[in-house]
Structure formats: structure tokens, C-alpha cells
Amino acid sequence: MTARPRPGFPARLDRSAVPARPGQKLPAAEGPRPLPAPPKRQQAHGVGLDSQAVRMRMVSKLAEQGITDTRVLQAMGAIERHRFVDSALANQAYEDTSLPIGLGQTISKPGVVSRMAELLLGGRPDKLGRVLEIGTGCGYQAAVLSLLASEVYSIERLRGLHEKARDNLRPLRLPNVHLLFGDGMAGFPEGAPYAAIIAAAGGGAVPQAWIDQLAVGGRLVAPVASASGAQQALMVIDRTAQGLRQTVLEAVHFVPLKSGIA
């Protein structure tokens, strides 16, 4: 069977990356790699948000909340969250709270980002392969995932946020992160199959397109709303050779999942 050609994007691609395929053994985890130093920014109101000590205090709190995967904790400590929020909110960047990023959307709280990343890894000793993120937002979660996966394809339906994420991520020069503008409900079949899929918005059900694009042995983590729509819970879907296995976990609160582009 002829291998499917790699999709092309406006963004620069890492042509040396090897896509994950069903049944393929992924390379051993190397741990989060050092990030290139982004341009210097002023400290926010003297708090010193560029200091690693500020992020390490956040990481310590995440560990106290039950995050145990050291790769996730290292990734959360490596990515500077204050660079992904408006300067007026920078002093709250390392609190465990969601923050507005414009267009009615939010950046997820660090506790939720780390929890979902840990669920995606599922205790596996190796690095994730190709990951699809539904809902780029400001780009923060994509940056975290870039340290845990060989490739991250992130799709955003709101052009304003897609452009904001591109601006936020450009200084980090992450060659394994590919930003897409489009309808996340449809996923991105050109890059399938995915070793993992993660969603930053919740609907009444997981779209079938996401299931179809998940590799055998892959895992999907997404918020799913109750029948009334009043509550959401994290759902984990594992695709095995025998079929799908679903697990419903704790209550969460995400923006609603919508179709189309704007």
C-alpha cells in the first residue's frame, strides 16, 4: 500500500518527522527539550513573570493536585503561560484559573491542561506520535503538547484566534507544531491517523470524524456535555483492535463545541 503523502501547510514543516501509524512502535521519550529563548519582555508590574521560579511554584501546585507524570510537569514548567495572555491579565497567568483570550474564548487553567496531557500519555513510557488538537485558542496547549509529542496539528475555527496563536508561537520556533485554520468538528483527515486527539471545547457527543481519524492504539480526550447541556465531563476514548473503550471522568467546564469557521 502506497504511503499517504504528507499534507502541506503555510507553516514550515519538519520534514524529518515520521508520522505515527497504527501498530507502529513510537520512539522512546526524550523528555521536554530546551526551548529557544524568546524575545525579552518587560516584567509585569515587577512580579518577574520571566522567572522560572514563578513557573516552578505553579508546577509544585500541580503536583500537589495529583499530576504525577514528570514529563507533563516539566513541560508545564518550560512553557511561559504569561506570553499567551493579554498583558493586563499577566499577573494571573500562573494561577490555576482560566482567562479570557478574546472572541468569547478562554485559555484553560493549568490544572486542566496538565490533567488532559497526562491522560493523553496514559502512563506510556514513550513519547506521543502525531497529535491533533481541536481548538488552538491562543496556542498555549499546543506549545505544551509540542514537548510531549513528535508532531502537533492544531486546528482553530476563529481566524482571529488562529492569527493570535501564530503570533504567540512564532518566537518559540517549534518546528513540530502546525497551525490550521478550519472547522475542528471535521478534524483533519489529511493528517490521519493520529496517536492522540485532544479537544478544548465540549459538545453533546464526540464527532464521528474524530473517532475515524484516531489510530488503533490511540487515545482521545475531550469534554462531553450531558443531555441537558448543563454539565460537562472529561471523556477518554481508547481505540483498540477490539473496538472503542470509553471512560467518563470528572466534571469540567469548557466553551461549547461549534462547527463552521468565523
Cβ 191 vs Cβ 168: under 8 Å: no
For residue 262, how many other CB atoms are within 10 A of its CB? 9
Environment class of 17 (CB within 10 Å of its CB; exposed 0-12, middle 13-18, buried 19+)? middle
What are the backbone angles phi and psi of residue 73, rounded to the nearest 5°? Answer: -65, -40
What is the rounded CA–CA span in Å between residue 81 and residue 92?
Answer: 10
Active site residues: 108
What are the backbone angles phi and psi of residue 240, rounded to the nearest 5°? Answer: -110, 175
**Whole-Å CA distances, 163 to 12, 90, 119:** 15, 20, 28
In order, the DSSP letters of 22-91 are: TTPPPPBP--PPPPPPPPP---STTS-TT-HHHHHHHHHHHHHTT---HHHHHHHHHS-GGGGS-GGGGG
